[in-house]
Structure 1
């Protein structure tokens, strides 16, 4: 009989992709206007082999002065996780909540460090509630499956 003990292990954390662009330098650096910061987060997951998954969290930070880009940072932090013998109904939660929560602090540090090293004030990404994001995504998918009508209840 095979061992059916649930397994959840981090195999590796790594920076998968990093980009910094300053397309309007040096002229824009002389602007005195307050920059506008736009932050977008994304998450992805894919199986690597049986029981092994790569989970990624991406942050794209676009900072503009007036209508010109001051700088753009895109960072993708990844982790390889071994997940075995976990009930199927729990897998999506582990991949969409637990794994990103482990990866995100590394991503926050990288974004802040890159901004500082580029000569700008650090951009501090806020904490993210991956559980609330997952629940909202599940509710949206359920609403679409029910023909687009749903009742949304508050999430604390």
Structure 2
């Protein structure tokens, strides 16, 4: 039997999952409800990692959904779904995928549910977002970071 070597033992524990910020706007209501419902959806997502302390991290997944009917915005919904995770004993190479892919994958169903509820309560047909391949997005992020190292950090767009 192997000795219990606590410092090198891998640990992944979900401490807390919560909705950090919500925004829902229907700028063209009630007129939008009289138009034929042929929506065009635009989805943007982003992640952010904030080290807290002692192997604790806050990972935030932000989803912004804009739905238009013709030129009119039917609704705009933004959700910042966050979680606090204890992640210890992983190598530096393993931490990137844990924080950049695995944690957002855990948060996504919660964010999808919040968005679906907001859209329905806003008077619109139910919206169920398709699954997202966070592994592929993380690999794409790594490739972009290798091609232009100065752009590897998350930037805020004004």
- Shorter-chain-normalised TM-score: which range? 0.7 to 0.9
Question: Of 134, 139, 142, which aligns to 1:135?
Answer: 139
Aligned pair 1:108/2:112, yes or no? yes
TM-score between the two structures when normalised by the length of structure 2: 0.85
Check conservation: 1:33, 1:66, Cα contact below 8 A.
no
Aligned length: 145
Cα displacement (A) at 1:2: 6.5
Q: Is the 8 A contact 1:38 1:61 kept in 2?
A: yes
Structure 1 portions without partners, runs of 5+ = 146-156
**Counterparts of 2:83 and 2:132 in 1: how far apart (Å)?**
17
Unaligned 5+ runs, structure 2: 150-158
Q: Report the counterpart of residue 42 of structure 1 in structure 2.
A: 46
Runs of 4+ in 1 over 2 A off after TM superposition: 1-4
Per-residue Cα deviation, 1:12-36 (whole angstroms, up to 9, x for no partner)? 0001111110112112221225222
Query: What are the Cα deviations for residues 3-60 of structure 1, in whole angstroms up to 9, with x where unaligned?
Result: 3322211000001111110112112221225222111111111111221100111111
RMSD: 1.6
| C-alpha contact (below 8 Å) 1:41/1:60 kept by paired residues | yes
**How much has 1:114 moved relative to structure 2?**
1.1
| TM-fit CA distance, 1:94 | 0.5
- 1:97 matched to 2:101? The reply is yes
Matched residues in 1 for 2:48 and 2:89: separation? 22
**Whole-angstrom distance in 2 between the partners of 1:144 and 1:17:** 31
SS at match of 1:62: strand
1:69 aligns with 2:73: yes
**TM-score, normalising length: structure 1:** 0.86
- Asked if 2 retains the 8 angstrom alpha-carbon contact of 1:24 and 1:68, the reply is yes
Supply the distance in 2 between the matched residues of 1:58 and 1:84 (Cα, whole angstroms): 25
